Structures are given as C-alpha cells and as structure tokens.
Structure 1
Amino acid sequence: MPFTFEPLPIAVAALTFLLAGFVKGVIGLGLPTVAMGLLGAVMEPAQAASLLIVPSLVTNVWQLATGPRFGVLARRLWLMMVGVVVGTLAGTGFMQGGHAEQAATALGVALVAYAVLGLTAIRFAVPPRAEWWLGPVIGVVTGLVTAATGVFVIPAVPYLGALGLTKDELIQALGLSFTVSTVALAAALAGGGTFEAGTAGASALALAPALIGMTMGGWVRGRVSEQMFRRCFFLGLLALGAHLASRTLI
C-alpha cells in the first residue's frame, strides 16, 4: 500500500522522525522503535516499516562511518551479521501475520527487562570463546524479530552490550548491526511488494527530520560522561520498551 500524502500522515511522520533521530543521536538506537510505535497510530505496520527504510539506512551508515574501529568490529561481528540477514529473510511476511502485535508487545517487555537489569549493578559478559557460535544465533533471532516487528534491537543490543565495548565502539557496533538489519528488512519488504517506488520516495522525504534530530542528539551525547551515557542508554531502552509493550493496551 503506497504512502498517503495527506496533512496528518505527513505531520506525524515529520515529527516522528525528528524525535526518533534525536533519540538515536543520544543513545545510538531507537529510530525504528520510536518510528514503528508512533507511525503505527496512522498506518499499517508494514507501511510504517517501509517508511523508515531510508532514514534508518542513512543514519545507521552515518553512525557506522563515524566510529573508530570499523574493520576490527566487522571482523569480530561478521558471523552475527550473516545470521541477521538469514533470519530477516526467513521471516519475510511475519509483519503481515496475525501475531505481529503480540510479537511487538513481547519485544517491549524484553526491552524493559533488559533495561532494568542494566540500571542495576548486574553486568552480563560474553566470553570471547563463545562469540563464534553465539553471534550467529543472536543474529538469526534478531532477524526473525526484525521481520515480525520492524525493530532491530532484541537480542542484538544486549549481546553487543555484553561484549565489553567502549562507548564509541558500542555506538559503531550498533550502527553496523542496524545497517545490515535495515538492508535485509528492505529486501524482505520489497519481496513482499510493500517497499515500492512511491513508499521509497516518501521514506526519502523523512530523511531530513531524522538527520536534524540525530545531529541534535549527537551533540548532547558528546557532552556526557561514560557513566551518564550508560544511564541514558538504559533509561532510553526502558522508555522505548515501555512504549512498545503498551501499544496493545492503548
């Protein structure tokens, strides 16, 4: 279904991507979660997911390119990225299924649980010897969740957060994971006939507010300490998860 160029959807989309870009600029993620949550009020989930493709791709490539260690991270995470592609393509059509709303609610609950644990003294760690087999599993599950909800964060974000990366490395690793997820989601939606020329044009128009918001959020992130960043990161996840989990209740 093509995007409707009417005042209400356009206004909602512009404000949504401005806010989503700001959240992403501050904590390194949240654009698809915020976008899917808010756009879902005025359009179908598959259409909302198609609308976020261009802003998500460009902001994630930007996030990926501005980090310090792309080559090292790419070599470390490539098996996980393969899993993301396989899982997303295997789940093609899940978003149109009858269980898409339940999947989004479960995703929100998982985000809340992870954020609450992250705000405590509990810390997860993945031993290096386990990355070769755990990474692909995490990737496949992330891909399946992406195909069902349009959101790329679970379980990829907890996994990446458990690798002991620095703030800048984590932001770049998230950018890599989300870039691959966006490309795979675009391929899945195009295969299902949802992401077509008209929707792609509308998605491109949503890029400007997303970039403005991301620039503002990046300015804020550059002025906070590592400890404050971690707190903002998990508080952001908590808010995003609560919003996603409550969508079926409001």
Structure 2
Amino acid sequence: MLTINDPASVAAIGLALLLGGILKGAVGMGSPVIAVPVMASFVDVRIAVALMVLPNLATNLWQLWAFREGRMSGWLPWLFALGGGLGVALGTVMLLQFSAEMLKLIIAAAVLIFVGLRVSKPHFTISPRLATPLAGPLGVGAGVLQGAAGISAPISVSFLNAMQLPRAVFIPTISLFFTAMTLVQIPMLSAAGVITAEIALLGAAALAPLFLGMPIGALAAKSISPQGFNRLIQVMLVLLALKLLVDVLP
C-alpha cells in the first residue's frame, strides 16, 4: 500500500507534476525528467516510474492528435518508436531487478548526462540521411533508460534535437515514441504487480497538475526566450540529480 503522510512531500510531488506539465506544454517532452527524480526522493523508484506511465500515455496521445498535421513522413519516426518499445522492455526488467539505490544512481546520471549534452553540444546536428539508420538503435537505448529510470531524454531528446526539428514536427515524433513505450510498460508493470489499482488511480490523479501545466507551458513558449527557459530547467535538473546522489551516497 502506497502512503505519503507528509503534506510537504505531497506538495512537492504535486509541484513537480505541475512543472513537468509546463515543460511538456512548452517543448513537447520532459514531464518525467522533472517528476520522476522528485517522486523518487519520497517513494520507491519503481512506484515513481509506474505513477508516470498512465499520465505519459494520456498526454502523448493528446499531443499526437493536437500536432497530427506536423507528423514526419518516412520510416524514421516508426523505427524510433519500435526501437523504444523494444528497449523499454529490457529496461523494465532492469527496473524490477535492480536495487532502489542503483536505480536512483541511474536516474541521477541520466539527468546529469542530459544537462551536460544540452550545455556542451547545443549546436550538434545529425543529417536526415544519417538519422534514419540511427533511429532504431538510438530508440532501443532511449527505451532502456526509460524503462529502468523513467527518463529517456539523454538519448531521445538529444537525438531529435540534433536533427533540428521544428517544434510542430518534434512534438508528434517524440509523442509517438513515448506512446509506443508506454504501451509496452503497462502490461509488463501490471503483470509484475507494480501497477496496481491504487497506482492507476494515483496516475489518473496526476493528470490534473500535468494538464494544468501544459497550457501554461505552451503560453510560456511564446513569451519566454528558449535560451532562458532551457537554463532554468537545466538548473532545476542539476539540483534534483544532486539531491538523489545525496540520498544514495554515504
């Protein structure tokens, strides 16, 4: 039975979900990048990952529909999504087998790598000809991270950013990728007993702050410079990663 009796913890998780929704609305991804590290500070990592699965499915299906006119043609988005589905199956096995401390270290490392790549290689590009053959293998790698730590951004977002996709194309591409992964995670985590009726209800409740934050993020994307927004997110993520490391390291 999952219980969080500390009001401050409940408030922190709710705020993390709201901020995750703002980031999702602004750039089309990122709600787990913020929400999972925060929740992992208060509940078991497996619960934190499981709580985000149903909200991920709902928000990404919504964005797939909302940005359907920007869907990319060709094999790339489907190869990327298929790779993500295969990788998340392996990552879910790791989630079920690894210790909580190891999973927290994976999350912290994934967050720090993501921030490091965004800071050190902001203008790195991948040509369309090279991107298509890379989509499957990179999708697998991103899926492994998503399954094990609930965060695929170090690979998935870095890959799509390097393609220099406009926002209207980036969002349906990443949403298809996340949808494919959640469709694999749900039956696997349910069969393992991680997603229970209680977790499903809490996941449904998490949709409220996420959907509340998404229009705020969409508005912020029009009124705040991308550079300023990215710097703010990067500072927040580094602080979250350091908090997880402090929790684990002696």
Tell me how far 1:10 sits from its aligned partner.
4.3
| Residue identity opposite 1:170 in structure 2 | F
| 2:188 paired with 1:191 | no
* Cα offsets for 1:3-29 (capped at 9, x unmatched): 327463544433321222112222322
CA distance in 1, matches of 2:138, 2:111: 17
Equivalent residues, number: 242
The TM-score normalised by the length of structure 1 is 0.85
Instruction: Map 1:40-189 to 2 at 5 A.
Output: 40-67=40-67, 69-73=69-73, 75-96=75-96, 97-98=98-99, 99-119=102-122, 123-189=123-189
In structure 1, distance between residues paired with 2:86 and 2:232: 28
Q: Give the counterpart letter for 2:116 in structure 1.
A: A
Compute the displacement of 1:54 (Å): 2.4
Contact 2:40/2:104 (8 A) holds in 1 = no
1:67–1:171 contact (8 Å) kept in structure 2: yes
Moved more, 136-145 or 125-134: 125-134
Flag the 1:173–1:73 CA change in 2: closer, same or farther, 3 A.
farther
Decide whether aligned partners of structure 1 residues 244 and 85 sit closer, same or farther in structure 2, where only a CA change above 3 A counts. Answer: farther
How far 1:68 moved relative to its partner? 5.1
**Amino acid in the other structure paired with 1:137:** P
SS of the residue 1:91 aligns to: helix
Contact 1:111 1:237 in 2 (8 A): no
Q: 1:75 to 1:20 in 2, by over 3 A?
A: same
Say which structure is richer in helix.
Answer: 2
* Distance of 1:174 and 1:132 partners within structure 2: 15
Q: Is the 8 A contact 1:22 1:217 kept in 2?
A: yes
- Show the counterpart of 1:248: 245
Measured in 2, the distance between the counterparts of 1:19 and 1:33 equals 10
Query: Using the alignment, how far apart are the partners of 1:149 and 1:95 within structure 2?
Result: 7
Amino acid at match of 1:212: L
- Preserved CA contact (<8 Å) 2:39 2:48: yes
Tell me by how many angstroms 1:237 deviates.
Answer: 5.2
Is the 2:27–2:167 Cα contact (8 Å) retained in structure 1?
no
2:235 is aligned with what amino acid? A
- Letter of the 1:102 counterpart: L
Q: Is 1:235 the counterpart of 2:238 in the alignment? A: no
Counterpart amino acid of 1:72? M
3-state SS in 1 of match to 2:63:
helix
TM-score by length of 2: 0.85
Give a deviation string over 1:201-220, Cα, whole Å, max 9, x none. 11101111110111211122
Q: How far off its partner does 1:81 sit? A: 0.8
- Which 5+ residue runs of structure 2 have no aligned equivalent? none
